[in-house]
A and B are shown apart, each in its own frame.
Chain A
Amino acid sequence: GAGVSQSPSNKVTEKGKDVELRCDPISGHTALYWYRQSLGQGLEFLIYFQGNSAPDKSGLPSDRFSAERTGGSVSTLTIQRTQQEDSAVYLCASSLQGRSYNSPLHFGNGTRLTVT
């Protein structure tokens, strides 16, 4: 597709359930990022994939959060045993990372997660 695609656009789940959020980056983009944005807050970095390198997981807030990227393309962010504080918009972005690493990020429309 032309842009970064995320699904679902909205997800309501009960506390304690697991959820999976999907991101389909722009074709050819080797870098993929997950960010979280809570109401009135900036973007909080979660995890970063770059090509075949080991992902940078330094932003994941707890071991309930995990992400994978299969075949260097689609990524899935999984949140286990969801808590109410996990409620936020989860944004995925991709970029064409050349040697200079100076490529702007292109964002998807996000998944709005509400944990009840």
Chain B
Amino acid sequence: EDKVVQSPLSLVVHEGDTVTLNCSYEVTNFRSLLWYKQEKKAPTFLFMLTSSGIEKKSGRLSSILDKKELFSILNITATQTGDSAVYLCAVIGQAGTALIFGKGTTLSVSS
């Protein structure tokens, strides 16, 4: 059965800290891994990763995929209170199937 496991489930840090969120997966015919940020309502898209070892970066956020070890990490440097959210990892497997989500990591950044 395809699955996505995220860790930790929750994390509390101080402003300015750097955090690393983990996502491991088991999926048939892996195609892509995606990261989303969910604050109050709709998850918003952060990154899509398809190739190993190529870092995607957007401001203070970056992510990388390891297709051999079947995991991805999401890094956030110099965290701000606005980074507080649930971070969701999801994978696309076999063509024509739906995105499979992990349970998410709840990040709380205190000032």
Contacts and interface: CB of A to CB of B under 8 A. Distances in A.
Q: Do A and B come from one complex?
A: yes
A101 B45 contact: no
A44 B97 CA distance: 14
A71 to B, nearest CB: 21
A33 B44 CA distance: 15
A48 B97 contact: yes
Interface of B: 31-32, 34, 36, 41-45, 48, 50, 88, 90, 92, 95-104
Given A91-B42, A105-B45, A45 B99 contact: yes
Nearest to A50: B96
Given A101-B31, A104-B34, A45 B98 contact: yes
State which size class the interface on A falls in.
20 to 34
Contacts, number: 56
Contacts of A43: 43, 88, 90, 101
A13 interface: no
Main secondary structure, interface of A, reads loop
Contacts of A50: 96
A105 B38 CA distance: 13
A42 B50 contact: no
A41 B88 CA distance: 11
Contacts of B90: 43, 105
In the complex, the 4 A-B pairs of residues with the closest C-beta atoms, listed nearest first: A42-B103, A107-B42, A43-B101, A109-B41
B32 to A, nearest CB: 5
Nearest to A9: B41
A50 B94 CA distance: 14
